[in-house]
Amino acid sequence: MSLISDELSDYLEKCCEPEPALLEKIDRETQLEVLMPRMLSGHLQGRVLSMLSKMLQPKRILEVGTFTGYATLCFTEGLAPDGKIITLDINEELEDRVRGYFEASDVNDKIDYRIGNAAHIIPTLTDVFDLVFIDADKKNNGLYYDQVFDKVRSGGLIIVDNVLWSGKVTAKNMDQDTSNIINFNDKVTADTSVEKLILPVRDGLFVIRKK
């Protein structure tokens, strides 16, 4: 999924902040014990997410797609003292593992972890969010974007993962998954109510700022 060589990736990781011990443990155990471990954010992307959170100092974060909780914990590093993150995932099989990781952290009381269909849960949320991270089933990126948009404050961020899709977005012949990614990217690009840029970090992060 990385767009750069392993050697350059190693160099970038050496030049950023070190990976906290709990995140290193989550990464290692996810790689060894969980199906599709490539879904985990990892060291470099995790430091990017942490940095963005620290710059924004959000009081309310919404994460769509928890997986094993790596990105969740990265985002908590920038939370305001009275802040919280709501994180949604549909995979019940990972729940005990993820709750264990959160309980091992010092921010468990700031994490509201919910299992269920995000498309059903998001409309019930009444919080105003400073930051939203969308990293779930890619075919529904547009749906989640529309559902969260009015819940994000002016100046808030929506970050969407995997928008370069291993570089396939520039391919002449594409499958349906790639087409879905391109359609979402085009939708955001045409949205004049936001400022946006894609960071070529790992598999592509769309950073979108609501005007």
pTM comes to: 0.96
Residue 168 covered by a domain: no
Cα 158 from chain centre = 9
Residue 67 covered by a domain: yes
The sign of the CA dihedral 150, 132, 39, 88 is: negative
Q: At what angle do helices 21-33 and 43-56 cross, to 10 degrees?
A: 140
Q: Which amino acid is at 165?
A: W
Residue 204 covered by a domain: no
Tokens of 54: 């620290």
Residue 210 covered by a domain: no
Q: In this structure, what is the dihedral angle of CA atoms 201, 110, 129, 131, given to the nearest 10 degrees?
A: -10
Residue 203 covered by a domain: no
CATH number, domain at 98? 3.40.50.150
Domain count, the chain: 1
For residue 127, give the 3-state DSSP assignment. coil
Rounded CA separation 29/116 (Å): 24
Structural domain including 28 reads 6-159
pLDDT at 124 over 90: yes
Per residue in 175-190, pLDDT tens?
Answer: 999 999 999 999 999 9
Per residue in 9-59, pLDDT tens?
Answer: 999 999 999 999 999 999 999 999 999 999 999 999 999 999 999 999 999
Per residue in 53-71, pLDDT tens?
Answer: 999 999 999 999 999 999 9
Residue 35 covered by a domain: yes
Residue 111 covered by a domain: yes
DSSP for 56-107 reads H--SEEEEE--TTSHHHHHHHTT--TT-EEEEEE--GGGHHHHHHHHHHSS-
pLDDT at 119 over 70: yes
